[in-house]
Amino acid sequence: MARLFPTRQKKRMPRIEIIPMVDVMFLLLVFYILSSLAMHHHRGIPVNLPAATSSEAAAANLEIILTVRPTGEYFINQRAVKLSELEEALAALPGGLVAARRTNVVLNADLSAQHRYVVEALDELRKLGINDFVIATEGKN
């Protein structure tokens, strides 16, 4: 026999599903990591740098990186240049020679580069009126 007034069933208590929320948080974390890696700029040519105990982190706004390779090749911000063309290469950068004289030039010399190549690069920069240099090193533990 059917009841005229069936008994009420207990209401289910609402609950918060955590698993989808954790999935979204992991997705946001992965997106953040990948986007921060994509924003990292590799401005200089990779070389083996000498280690120094007193090395410091360079400022991120340095715009001119002069790389000296062991073979005597020179690069300004990943663009190959000859020392005789250094003035034209610096003039082609944003702000030209005037901006280059106001900023530090990072000397990114390879560990096995001959000393004469480094001295020639520094001498050429001094001829152009650029006297502020930062020598790139790796931290020594």
Count of the separate structural domains present in the chain: 1
pTM of structure: 0.57
For residue 5, is it within any domain? no
Q: Supply the DSSP string of 18-49, one letter for each residue.
A: -HHHHHHHHHHHHHHHHHHHHT----SPP--P
Q: Which of 56-60, 73-77, 101-105, 126-130 is predicted least confidently?
A: 56-60
Residue 27 domain-assigned (yes or no):
no
Average pLDDT, the chain: 80
Q: Is 89 part of a structural domain of the chain?
A: yes
Q: Which domain holds residue 105?
A: 51-139
First to last CA, the chain: 86
Choice among 46-60, 76-90, 114-128 with the minimum mean pLDDT: 46-60
Is 16 among the domain residues? no
